[in-house]
């Protein structure tokens, strides 16, 4: 829940905990991303993968395209066709698999469950009653499992028009409204001799609808975010429209107007199952601005300035310089400003380049295309200049430092792009992005200073490199957790996506225990005890951050990135006071 005080009354903005991609959508997107990353074939989806224009545009940028039929695919031998999350009739799937074409099934597992339910009952002679939208892709797919004995109704009124049925199985489109299905089932009892009631509304939909009902009835304004062609988003809006004083259905934040917020003290933001979290965050940001416009201009300016600092990678540059300072203290090397500057420029360059590469995935609206093209060009130019300057500075430190710095910078700049230069094999490796980031930072922040001061093979330099690698790996993994929870389009180059939540947090906890154990041992052995004690204290922030990410809803992206990079800056401040 987000609250802030306006001039006349307290304005409360609540974002639904259940908002964001549902598991079925996440599964489908993950599948096509992995196919696009590991295969040289063209990727097609049979119909839009999900009902969200912005996400579909993002997938197009990654050469994942939707086709209405297989006839649109010319070179079938060099193509992969993905069955989307809604599923298709079994006869259509069999026909596709009979073609000289690779077919991948990304049907939502919960939709699969409904298909099997219908198939099982149909074999026993039951007529199927589907409560849903007759033209929806999921319902069209479900009809194929009924053996031709099927009726589609939109609710209880539709059931009343059906003929008398001896045996029937009533099921729901997975995103159907619960009350509508139960009412339809009651009507179905009146026209059937034997009725099997299969409530196949999926749990994510039930949770979303329950939360919507609970908050909408007490809200002055409800903002529903999602595609206008999304059935489940439309149902969410219909619930809100009945219960809230005012409700609006939008696809993106630009549709919000200041007039909507007049007299609205309690605002609720929710979304459909195909709406990514990053879109919801943009709506939240716009709602804050419009609801509190001119109420606290200083606070608004400060928030905007901070957003520029974080999204402009300046905070990351400070974090890299802070880590370099810590490593130089660990190595016992004199603190040299050129290393702090070099590491800051290096981190700024690569972080800015990667952010520019993913910016189109954040908001690819056609109306904003020119703006984002200009942003990318400016960002990449800034990244190129700062990276070149970092490599130039490294040249003054000897050819070993120069060549290694140039290597890591070159690989880092090329990493986001699909280029036939042999880098793809490493990019396909799980957690490759996190590992590469940690290696580059460990070199610039720890090994380069040690190499320059002639202690590259010393125990203290090796310790600093190890310390920096694990800290930056942790930082990168937490960034990946934030991106995944924001429904950014990322693949298994992200450790969190590759390993899953349990293994990710087990790994992070293990790193914390390992680093804390090393620092505790160093303190006990009398090696730089004050520095070890200071860094050990700083590790408590790391522990708190992990616990917060694990048990709480991951905060919006700007807040999450601030919290993560603050870890390194805090260590730098603690080391400075020693």
Q: What is the pLDDT of residue 152?
A: 96
- Among the listed residues 138, 251, 556, 561, the single catalytic one is 138
Q: In the chain, what are the domains?
A: 2-20+205-295 (3.40.1010.20), 34-107 (3.40.50.11270), 111-201 (3.40.1010.20), 305-576 (no CATH)
Name the residue among 311, 360, 365, 356 with its Cα closest to residue 489. Answer: 360
Grade residue 374 by pLDDT with cuts at 50, 70 and 90.
Answer: low
Give backbone dihedrals phi and psi of 160, rounded to 5 degrees, phi first: -60, -20
| Residue 65: strand pairing partners | 44
Q: What angle do CA 504, 508, 513 make, to 5 degrees?
A: 145
Helix, strand or coil, per DSSP, at residue 250: strand
Determine how many CB atoms are found less than 10 A away from the CB of residue 571: 26
Q: H or E stretch including 2?
A: strand 2-5
pTM of the shown model: 0.73
Angle, helices 337-362 vs 369-395, to 10°: value is 160
Q: What is the pLDDT of residue 311?
A: 82
* 79-83, strands of its sheet edge to edge: 64-67, 42-46, 79-83, 102-105
- pLDDT of 428 strictly over 60: no
Residue 550 C-beta-side C-alpha neighbours within 13 Å: 16
- Structure confidence by residue, pLDDT tens digits, 56-81: 877 887 788 888 888 888 888 888 99
Grade residue 289 by pLDDT with cuts at 50, 70 and 90.
Answer: confident
The stretch 469-489 carries a mean pLDDT of 86
| Residue 43: strand pairing partners | 64, 80
Q: What is the pLDDT of residue 81?
A: 93
- pLDDT of 365 strictly over 50: no
Select the highest-mean-pLDDT range: 21-35, 153-167, 409-423. Answer: 153-167
- Structure confidence by residue, pLDDT tens digits, 192-208: 999 999 999 998 888 88
Are 36 and 80 in contact, with CB atoms under 8 Å apart? no
Q: Determine the Cα–Cα distance for residues 59 and 33; give it in Å rounded to an integer.
A: 9
- pLDDT of 140 strictly over 90: yes
Helix, strand or coil, per DSSP, at residue 165: strand
Grade residue 425 by pLDDT with cuts at 50, 70 and 90.
Answer: very low
Q: Determine the Cα–Cα distance for residues 482 and 488; give it in Å rounded to an integer.
A: 9
Strand pairing report for 165-172 and 150-153:
unpaired
The stretch 289-294 carries a mean pLDDT of 67
Residue 274 C-beta-side C-alpha neighbours within 13 Å: 26
Q: H or E stretch including 168?
A: strand 165-172
Is residue 138 flagged as an active site residue?
A: yes
The stretch 336-359 carries a mean pLDDT of 82
The stretch 291-309 carries a mean pLDDT of 71
């Amino acid at each position: 829940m987000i609250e802030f005080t306006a001039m006349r009354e307290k304005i409360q903005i609540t974002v639904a905990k259940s908002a964001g991609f549902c598991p079925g959508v996440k599964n489908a997107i993950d599948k096509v991303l992995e196919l696009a990353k590991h295969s040289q074939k063209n990727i097609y989806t049979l119909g839009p993968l999900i009902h969200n224009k912005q996400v579909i545009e993002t997938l197009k940028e990654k050469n994942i395209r939707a086709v209405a039929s297989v006839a649109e695919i010319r070179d079938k031998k060099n193509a992969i066709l993905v069955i989307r999350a809604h599923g298709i009739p079994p006869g259509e799937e069999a026909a596709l698999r009979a073609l000289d074409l690779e077919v991948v099934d990304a049907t939502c597992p919960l939709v699969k469950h409904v298909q099997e339910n219908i198939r099982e009952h149909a074999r026993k002679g039951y007529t199927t009653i589907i409560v849903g939208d007759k033209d929806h892709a999921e319902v069209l797919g479900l009809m194929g499992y009924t053996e031709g004995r099927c009726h589609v109704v939109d609710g209880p009124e539709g059931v009343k028009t059906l003929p008398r049925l001896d045996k029937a199985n009533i099921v729901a489109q997975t995103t159907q409204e619960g009350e509508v299905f139960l009412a339809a089932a009651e009507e179905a009892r009146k026209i059937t001799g034997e009725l099997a009631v299969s409530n196949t509304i999926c749990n994510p939909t039930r949770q979303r609808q329950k939360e919507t009902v609970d908050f909408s009835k007490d809200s002055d304004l409800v903002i529903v975010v999602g595609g206008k062609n999304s059935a489940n988003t439309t149902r969410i809006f219909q619930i809100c429209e009945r219960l809230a004083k005012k409700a609006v259905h939008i696809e993106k934040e630009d549709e919000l107007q200041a007039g909507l917020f007049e007299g609205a003290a309690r605002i609720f933001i929710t979304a459909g199952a195909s709406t990514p979290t990053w879109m919801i965050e943009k709506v939240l940001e716009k709602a804050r601005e419009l609801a509190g416009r001119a109420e606290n201009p200083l606070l608004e300016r400060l928030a905007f300035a901070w957003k520029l600092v974080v999204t402009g990678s300046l905070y990351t540059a400070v974090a890299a310089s802070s880590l370099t300072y810590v490593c130089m203290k660990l190595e016992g090397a004199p603190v040299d400003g050129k290393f702090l500057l070099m590491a800051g420029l290096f981190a700024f360059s690569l972080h800015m380049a990667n952010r520019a590469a993913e910016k189109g995935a954040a908001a690819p609206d056609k109306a904003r295309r020119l703006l984002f093209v200009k942003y990318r060009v400016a960002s990449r130019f800034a990244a190129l200049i700062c990276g070149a300057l970092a490599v130039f500075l490294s040249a003054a430190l000897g050819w070993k430092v120069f060549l290694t710095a140039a290597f890591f910078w070159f690989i880092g700049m090329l990493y986001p792009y699909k280029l036939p230069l042999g880098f793809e094999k490493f990019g396909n490796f799980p957690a490759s992005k996190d590992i590469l980031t940690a290696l580059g930072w460990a070199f610039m922040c720890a090994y380069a200073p040690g190499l320059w001061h002639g202690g590259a093979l010393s125990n203290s330099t090796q310790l600093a490199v190890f310390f920096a690698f694990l800290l930056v790996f942790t930082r990168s993994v937490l960034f990946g957790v934030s991106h995944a929870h924001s429904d950014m389009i990322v693949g298994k180059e992200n450790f969190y996506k590759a390993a899953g939540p349990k293994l990710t947090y087990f790994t992070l906890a293990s790193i914390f225990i390992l680093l804390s154990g090393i620092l505790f041992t160093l303190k006990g052995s009398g090696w730089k005890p004050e520095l070890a004690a200071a860094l050990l204290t700083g590790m408590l922030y790391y522990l708190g951050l992990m616990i917060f990410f694990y048990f709480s809803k991951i905060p919006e992206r700007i807040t999450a990135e601030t919290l993560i990079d603050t870890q390194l800056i805090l260590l730098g401040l603690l080391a400075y006071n020693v």
